């Protein structure tokens, strides 16, 4: 396990778990409880914002990994969030981490909640960014138009900007800066998720939206500190769901970022990192 100073120069390494050979990168100090990032629908470790990763890595050992069938990890893409969570725990076990903090973004937030519910002694802190509690009473679903765009075979810059940022000039400019930061890492990028993989992840998310093993009715069981964060106008996982989660979780804080959408953490990377590190120190 070789740590690196920044996401831009972090070496991609591999570890054998029971379910797959996992691709991962470690950035930051070698000691302390690892902060494991769990990525979004269609995401790979290449698509984490260097400003967010490097910001957290100033104090924390940040661990990025690809779930089964994603990026350079082997195996098939799971068709349920529960199996994705089991794979995440398989990776954590393969890395010999006894305790972790989890930062789950979007789909990764569903996975992180499921890990915390299934393995409560493993997780010390949860950061749930741009995510929801699954389907159930009081949950605001994704609009059909948004779902159609998100499921397109190829997502270009225009579609990404529509899904992740608001229409304001400030938000759009922030989105472009994020896109530029992704180009800072030299060399070839990880392969994009295949259409079969997209369909598998969509199946998992559809099950979650229908309430299959959804965290919502069990959120009261998560006693650890939780930071719920989102943009003020998230159209991917509608912002009211963040408020709902903060009401159901017994030890949660809620932060909403102004004039921002699903990609709020990329629009306000320094502020999000500052809030996140303050929370993790608690």
* Distance in Å from the first CA to the final CA of the chain: 27
pLDDT value, residue 2: 54
- Rounded to whole angstroms, the Cα distance separating 209 from 212 reads 7
pLDDT value, residue 55: 98
pLDDT in tens, 47-57: 999 999 999 99
pLDDT value, residue 149: 84
Express as a percent the part of the chain with pLDDT over 70: 99
Query: Is residue 194 assigned to a domain?
Result: yes
pLDDT in tens, 7-43: 999 999 999 999 999 999 999 999 999 999 999 999 9
Supply the range of the domain harboring residue 263.
13-281
Query: Is residue 41 assigned to a domain?
Result: yes
CATH number at residue 268: 3.40.50.1820
**170 pLDDT more than 60:** yes
User: Average pLDDT of 262-279?
Assistant: 98
Query: Is residue 178 assigned to a domain?
Result: yes
Confidence of residue 212 (pLDDT cuts 50, 70, 90): confident
* 227, β-bridge pairs: 127, 253
Q: 142, exposed or middle or buried, with CB in 10 Å at 0-12, 13-18, 19+? A: middle
Query: Is residue 274 assigned to a domain?
Result: yes
Confidence of residue 5 (pLDDT cuts 50, 70, 90): confident
**155 pLDDT more than 80:** no
Query: Is residue 67 assigned to a domain?
Result: yes
- Rounded to whole angstroms, the Cα distance separating 18 from 16 reads 7
Query: Is residue 207 assigned to a domain?
Result: yes
Backbone angles phi, psi at 223, to 5 degrees: -90, -15
**63 pLDDT more than 80:** yes
Q: How many domains does the chain have?
A: 1
pLDDT value, residue 110: 97
Nearest-CA neighbor of 157 among 146, 138, 142, 172? Answer: 172
Query: Is residue 6 assigned to a domain?
Result: no
**SS3 labels along the chain:** CCCECCCCCCCCEEEECCCCEEEEEEECCCCCCCEEEECCCCCCHHHCCHHHHHHHHCCCCEEEECCCCCCCCCCCCCCCHHHHHHHHHHHHHHCCCCCEEEEEECHHHHHHHHHHHHCCCCEEEEEEECCCCCCCCCCCCCCHHHHHHHCCCCCCHHHHHHHHCCCCHHHHHHHHHHHHHHHHCCCCCCCCCCHHHHHHHHHHHHHHHCCCCCCHHHHHHCCCCEEEEEECCCCCCCCHHHHHHHHHCCCEEEEEECCCCCCHHHHCHHHHHHHHHHHHHC
Q: What is the mean pLDDT of the chain?
A: 95
pLDDT value, residue 136: 85
pLDDT value, residue 166: 96
Query: Is residue 8 assigned to a domain?
Result: no
**3 pLDDT more than 80:** no
**120 pLDDT more than 90:** yes
pLDDT value, residue 153: 74
pLDDT value, residue 234: 97
């Amino acid at each position: 396990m070789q740590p690196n100073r920044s996401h831009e120069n972090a070496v991609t390494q591999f570890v054998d778990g029971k379910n797959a050979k996992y691709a991962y990168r470690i950035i930051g100090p070698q000691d302390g409880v690892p902060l494991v990032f769990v990525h979004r629908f269609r995401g790979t470790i290449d698509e984490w914002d260097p400003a967010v990763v490097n910001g957290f890595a100033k104090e924390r050992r940040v661990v990025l990994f690809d779930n089964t069938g994603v990026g350079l990890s082997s195996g098939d893409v799971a068709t349920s969030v529960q199996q994705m969570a089991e794979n995440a725990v398989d990776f954590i076990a393969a890395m010999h981490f006894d305790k972790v903090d989890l930062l789950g973004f979007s789909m990764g937030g569903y996975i992180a909640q499921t890990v915390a519910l299934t393995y409560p002694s493993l997780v010390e802190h949860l950061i749930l960014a741009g995510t929801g509690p699954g389907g159930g009473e009081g949950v605001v679903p994704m609009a059909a138009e948004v779902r159609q765009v998100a499921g397109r075979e190829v997502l270009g810059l225009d579609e990404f900007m529509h899904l992740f940022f608001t229409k304001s000039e400030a938000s759009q400019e922030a989105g472009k800066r994020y896109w530029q930061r992704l180009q800072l890492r030299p060399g070839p990028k990880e392969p994009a998720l295949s259409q079969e993989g997209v369909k598998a992840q969509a199946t998992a998310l559809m099950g979650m939206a229908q309430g299959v093993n959804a965290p919502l009715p069990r959120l009261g069981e998560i006693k650890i500190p939780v930071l719920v964060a989102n943009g003020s106008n998230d159209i991917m996982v509608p912002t009211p769901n963040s408020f709902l989660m903060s009401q159901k979780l017994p030890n949660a804080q809620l932060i909403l970022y102004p004039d921002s959408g699903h990609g709020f953490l990329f629009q306000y990377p320094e502020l999000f990192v500052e809030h996140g590190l303050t929370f993790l120190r608690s």
